[in-house]
Amino acid sequence: MSALYLLVSTFGLVFCLGLQSQLVNNGHHVSAFLNSLAIGTCNLVLFKLAPDASGIEIAAYLSGGPFGIVASMWAYRRSQARRVAAGMRAQADLGSPR
């Protein structure tokens, strides 16, 4: 069970760190602030579980990172695409006659 916790916490940590980079670079202050709490939570889980990790747990720890960063990149781009699409719909609604 701790292998699953290590996998999920590493995935979550790397996901949040990748997301944090995007949020900071694009000036999303509140989201970056809240995301920092998730980073801290994932770190706490890792600090508790990683020191006593065995072979399978180490593999789980190492597997979470690559999936986490790719998922973070996908999620951020998808959220931005939805935001742009919503903005375009709002502009179209403003310009259309009623």
Domain definitions of the chain by residue range: 2-95
For residue 53, report the phi and psi dihedrals to the nearest 5 degrees.
-70, 140
pLDDT of amino acid 98 = 53
pLDDT band at 97 (very low <50, low <70, confident <90, very high): low
For residue 35, report the phi and psi dihedrals to the nearest 5 degrees.
-65, -30
Q: State both tokens at 98.
A: 């009623």
pLDDT of amino acid 50 = 87
Q: Note whether 44 and 4 are within 8 A (CB).
A: no
Q: Summarize pLDDT for 27-82 with one digit per residue, the tens.
A: 999 999 999 999 999 999 899 888 888 999 999 999 999 999 999 999 999 988 88
